[in-house]
Amino acid sequence: MRDRPLDHMVHHRDPVTLPPDATVQEACRTMRTHRVGCVLVTDAQNRLLGIFTGRDAVCRIGAECQDPALTRLSEAMTARPQTLPPEASALEALRLMQDGGFRHVPLVRDGVVVGVVSRGDFRAMEHARLNEENGFWESLR
């Protein structure tokens, strides 16, 4: 399958979510427990408010010497992250991550979070296809 749909990649996994008033410390513990690189910050209706990643913990909280036990996710998250619908292809997600310089893409349907994909979820063939595509565009420059 050349263009694997994202919903096929995440159909057995529920995204890890926390409310915006959770602390950074809670988020880091949750990520460690679930062995994931991000938590999606959602409201009571499971609508996406933001994303908090391991990079945020280091670059935003650690670098600014903020107390993770007191800092709320609403203060530390990336608000309104780029998203894709679950019907999008794996290659679309890889392109978005490469162009945006991030490792996670939340999947949203009708405003509600249904999953998240990370760079590590993709097969080698999808990475190779993206590299092939990039090489083609570079040769046209």
Q: What is the pLDDT along the chain (141 residues), one digit of tens a residue?
A: 457 778 777 666 789 999 999 999 999 999 999 999 999 999 999 999 999 998 888 877 766 777 888 999 999 999 999 999 999 988 899 889 989 999 999 999 999 999 999 888 876 555 456 566 655 455 555
Would residue 1 count as lying in a domain? no
Q: How many domains does the chain have?
A: 1
Would residue 58 count as lying in a domain? yes
CA 40/CA 21 separation, integer angstroms: 13
Q: Which domain holds residue 64?
A: 6-139
Would residue 80 count as lying in a domain? yes
Q: Is the dihedral of CA 85, 97, 9, 88 positive or negative?
A: positive
What's the pTM? 0.81
Q: What is the CATH number of the domain that holds 120?
A: 3.10.580.10
Would residue 28 count as lying in a domain? yes
